Amino acid sequence: MQGITDPTTLEFLERQQRADFWNNAAQWGYTAWYIGFAFAVLLLLLYVIIPSESYDEVLRPRGFLGRFSRFRASIMHFGAVLLLVLCAITQQTQVDQTRGFAADQDKRYEAEIKKLTATGNREAAMKAQYMYLPNGNSLLYISLGNPSIAADYMWLTSQQYVVNSQRRGQKFEMLLRFYNTVMELDPHWTEAAINGGKVLSALEPNRYAVEKFYSGAIFDNPGNIDLPYEAGRLFVVPPLNLELRKEYAKHATDWFSLVIDLLNKRPQSKERDSRIKGVRDLIGRMAVETDAYGLAAELLWDDMHDQNVSKALRQMYARDWLNARSLLIASALQKRVDEYRASHFFAPLHLGSIIQSLKSEKNLFLDFDHETPKDAFGFAIKYDPRTGKVASHGVQAKLAIQAAAIVNSIIATTYMQYNSGAPPKDLVELQQFVDKFFSIQGNEPTSAITNAIGMELNVIVSPFGTPWKYNATTGKVETPPECNPKTLFRNADLLVPDN
């Protein structure tokens, strides 16, 4: 969460400001109050002492105090009014201490405007639009101290804006301003934040800007679960850029972990548990992409032993677990290889030398032959001392199943369609076709395709690193025998037996 918001610092500042205010008030406030109180008591005492006005000539009060008889009633009134007002003041300070003042409200809103107005022409045009849009503070006055209604009004107006506005380019900024005002007026109206975020995310490809909007609302509503969940969901959409993918997955995982933490703080219930499960599924998916294999493996292990889940689902989890675990082993070994290389300037000849150092790490290797580390699928870990790359054959095999299917479907549906039903002579021809075809506007490859054969759309080299075996007559690429799902996932079937 670092870099997005730092709740501890801001909250601390706010608390500090409030404490300062009350300390100052206490210094002179208490004295003034006691003086007032003493005066009121004095007045009431006078009321008791001064003899009451007698209307009888004979009994008319004499003496010094007697001269004030006329004022007796007025004195009583003043004293009582003062006393009651002081009472009211006491209660008022109590209320103010509980609720606090608005103090220096978060200036994120004003700062944003300042930033925007500092640059060029387009912003000047926007400024003209801003003029007609009331800001939070003025709305407070117009609504005569009813911020809730003012927020509602801004919300409804923003909807009109979504529907009516023609300026697509500036729509996001204007809507952001609307929503920021709504949240400023009514910081705890989380529903508005969620719906607003959804609208913004539909308009704006820049996920981080929307995330910033969410984080403001999350800061104001620390216990809320839906907001960080939506923030995480922002990043579940796969981006076009591969580098961003990892970044996105990391953001999503962070937000979802926060959600799970918050959920765990709630009392146990069926609903809560199923919610936690849903979020963990998402994390699991993200985790693999962020190289957080350990986390993924852990989650999948728990999931596949969860008796409340159906058998079929658990088997699926088991297969995913094999994958994650193999990746975990491979990445752990890869890290050690890289460390070795950094200190010895070349990669180790075989893995045996570094395996010893790994033995101390608990839970890492369950069924493990000292010399030859195996992955979860049962294959030996592949290591090439020339390149220094560690790989899991099982993982590659799993990828190969998908990739082969995709390549075959490209041949069968797309290629053959454009070549009157004839398969390509070889994969080079196929590659040329693929390059040309998918670069045409409107023919972008689907995420299924890019997930299987990568962004570069390489149809020649298989996930094993070697070229596909292509059968020109059938028009299909062939996978090695270990790519049979039954054999590949036999370990999973052992872990979650059919019966």
Partner 1 sequence: MIVGAIAMNTFREAVRDKILYVLLAFGVLMILVSRAIGWVSYGGSEKIMTDVGLTAIWIFSGMVSIFIGTGLIYKEIDKRTIYTILAKPAQRWQFLAGKYLGLLITTLVNLVFLSTAFLLYLWICGAPVTIALLQALFLTFIEMMVVTAIAIFFSSASTPILSAIFTTIIFFTGQMTKWVVELGASVKQTAPWVEKILYACYLFLPNLHNFNIRQQAVLATQENVMIASSEMFNCVMYGLAYTMAVLLAAHLIFRRRNF
Give me the residues that bind partner 1 (CB under 8 A), please: 21, 25, 28, 32, 73-74, 77-78, 80-81, 84-85, 87-89, 91-95, 98-99, 101-103, 140-141, 144-149, 152, 155-156, 159, 186, 188-192, 194-195
**In the complex with partner 1, which residue's Cβ is closer, 222 or 465?**
222
CB of 153 to partner 1, least distance (A): 9
Cα dihedral value 72, 75, 79, 81, nearest 10: 110
**In the complex with partner 1, which residue's Cβ is closer, 80 or 276?**
80
Specify whether the CB–CB gap between 351 and 358 falls below 8 A. no
Residue linked to tokens 């009516």 = 164
Helices (H), 186-241: 190-203, 207-220, 226-234
Both tokens assigned to 143: 């609504």
CB of 22 to partner 1, least distance (A): 11
**In the complex with partner 1, which residue's Cβ is closer, 89 or 203?**
89
**In the complex with partner 1, which residue's Cβ is closer, 184 or 375?**
184
**In the complex with partner 1, which residue's Cβ is closer, 84 or 422?**
84
How are beta strands 469-471 and 389-391 bridged, if at all? unpaired
DSSP 414: I
**In the complex with partner 1, which residue's Cβ is closer, 159 or 402?**
159
Both tokens assigned to 322: 């094999």
Quote the CA–CA distance of 259 and 275 in Å, as a whole number: 10
Ranges of beta strands (E only) in 351-448 are: 382-384, 389-391
CB of 127 to partner 1, least distance (A): 24
Quote the CA–CA distance of 431 and 447 in Å, as a whole number: 18
21 burial level (CB within 10 Å; 0-12, 13-18, 19+): middle
Q: Closest Cα partner for 404 from 349, 329, 482?
A: 482
CB of 312 to partner 1, least distance (A): 36
One-letter identity of residue 101: F
CB of 189 to partner 1, least distance (A): 6
CB of 88 to partner 1, least distance (A): 4
Quote the CA–CA distance of 266 and 225 in Å, as a whole number: 11
**In the complex with partner 1, which residue's Cβ is closer, 195 or 334?**
195
Quote the CA–CA distance of 317 and 308 in Å, as a whole number: 13
CA distances to 116, 123, 124, 179 from 129, in Å: 13, 10, 9, 15
**In the complex with partner 1, which residue's Cβ is closer, 70 or 344?**
70
